[in-house]
Structures are given as C-alpha cells and as structure tokens.
Chains A and B, each alone.
Chain A
Amino acid sequence: MSWLATVAEFVAAFVIVLGAAFALIGSWGLVRLPTLMERLHGPTKATTLGVGGILVGSILVSRLEQGAWSGHELLITLFLFITAPIAANMMAKVHLHRLRLRDAAISPGPAGAPPEPGGEAGWATYEAPQPDTPVATSRE
C-alpha cells in the first residue's frame, strides 16, 4: 500500500500547486485586463479551479493523515459554484448602469458598449422594480 500513499501524496501536492497557481493567474488577470467586463473573467478561474484545487488537496491530505474521508470541503465548493455567477451578474449590472451614467472612470472596452436590445424595452436591469419607484440611474 505504500506506493499508493506515495501516489496520493503526489496528487495532493499537484492539486494544491495547481489551485494556488490558478488563484495567482486570476488576480494577475484582474490587474492586467483593460476594463471591468474583461476583468470579470480573471477571478472566475480563482473561484473554480483555484479554490476547488486547494479543497481537493485538503480532502486528500486529511485522508492521508487521518485515514478517513471528509466531505465537508465540498460544501464550500458547492456554495461558491452557486454564488459566483450571481455575484458576477450583479457586477456586470453595476458596469451597465455606470456606462449609462457616462461615468468618466469607465470605458466600454475593446469590444465597445454592449448593443441595446431590440424593440421598445432596454436592458431589464434599467427598469424600476415596481411601477412607482424611480429608476435609480436615470439622469433627470
């Protein structure tokens, strides 16, 4: 069984290194990419592979050291996988509203401003939640 423990140790070390490297790549992307819409892409790597790799490494190390499988690390992965798209959607909404206000600190980026959807309506996030609430970023 000792060769199996050696292989498991090697795999655990590999996934920890992989996770940490992806966290670094995500933050490097956050610094390097030009505008907020591009910067949303960098940290997604840190969320999925970065934290995921370190959690898999944690499961393997606890199996190696204590001899029992532990599943509660998967809770963190599950929760991050559920919440990360919602957080990214909210930040993209902030970007759209700031673009609409013509915030001087924001540029639309290499791809240009996102095109308006066709028809009468604009983006759904521009609409007021109730009929009588004013639109938050309207400029009158």
Chain B
Amino acid sequence: MIQFAIVFGFVCLSLSLALNLWRLLRGPSVGDRIISLDTMVINAIAFIVLIGIALADDTYFEAALLLAMVGFVGTVAYCKFILRGDIVE
C-alpha cells in the first residue's frame, strides 16, 4: 500500500514541478519567477524526502534540510536584489 502511495506522490510532485516550470517560463513579472522558484525548491524538498522513503535511506534528509536552508537564502537574496539593486549593502 505504501508503494502505491509513494508512486502517487512521485507522479503528483513531478506534475507540480512541471506546473512551476510553466509559471517560471511564462512570468509575466519578475516576482512571479521568484515565487515559482521558491515553490520549486519546496517541491524539491518533498521530492527528496520521498526518495528517502522509497529507498529507506537516512542520508536524503540531510540533503532536504540543506536545501530548505539554501532555498530560503536564495529567495531572500533574489528579493533583496530586486528591491535594492544590491544584496548586501
């Protein structure tokens, strides 16, 4: 039963990553691209955790935790650059 749930999860997360990519390419404004990149990072975290469940491997959680931190810093850096034209003033 868990195997079916994991396959369903992979399908759903792949679809949502594709939808995020559509919004990233479509735009129309730079803020939309930032939010779609942020959502992509969050979906990638869920994807990595799901890979960890499927392979029964603990190492993937460290990767997901690192991606959670780095993705947030990336989003804030993009926003600061748009707002101020500079990241660290």
Q: Which residues of A contact B (CB under 8 A)?
A: 9-10, 12-14, 16-17, 19-21, 23-24, 26-28, 30-31, 36, 39-40, 42-43, 46-47, 50-51, 54-55, 57-58, 61-62, 65, 70, 72-73, 75-76, 79-80, 83, 86-87, 90-91, 93-95, 97-98, 103, 105-106, 125, 129, 133, 136-137
B69 touches A79 (CB 8 A): yes
- A25 — nearest CB in chain B belongs to which residue? B16
Interface secondary structure of B, over-half rule? helix
Docked pose: A46 CA to B71 CA in angstroms: 15
With beta carbons under 8 angstroms apart, the residue of A10, A76, A98 that contacts B29 is A98
A46 touches B56 (CB 8 A): no
What's the nearest-Cβ distance from chain A to residue B65, in Å? Answer: 5
Known: A58-B53, A105-B27. A94 touches B83 (CB 8 A): yes
With beta carbons under 8 angstroms apart, the residue of B29, B30, B42 that contacts A46 is B42
Chain A proximity mask over B25-65: 1 for CB below 8 Å, otherwise 0 = 00111111011101100110110011011001010010011
Taking the complex as formed, is B6 at the interface, i.e. its CB lies under 8 A from any CB of chain A?
yes
A94 touches B13 (CB 8 A): no
Known: A76-B61, A106-B29. A30 touches B19 (CB 8 A): yes
Chain B residues near A62: list those with CB within 8 A.
Answer: 56, 58
Most-contacted residue by chain A among B1, B16, B34 (CB, 10 A) = B16
With beta carbons under 8 angstroms apart, the residue of B32, B42, B72, B76 that contacts A36 is B32
Chain A residues near B8: list those with CB within 8 A.
Answer: 16-17, 20
Docked pose: A42 CA to B53 CA in angstroms: 26
Count B interface residues, CB 8 Å.
Answer: 54
Docked pose: A54 CA to B11 CA in angstroms: 14
B49 touches A54 (CB 8 A): yes
Interface secondary structure of A, over-half rule? helix
A17 touches B83 (CB 8 A): no
Known: A9-B2, A98-B30. A27 touches B39 (CB 8 A): yes
Docked pose: A11 CA to B49 CA in angstroms: 17
Known: A27-B19, A79-B68. A57 touches B53 (CB 8 A): yes
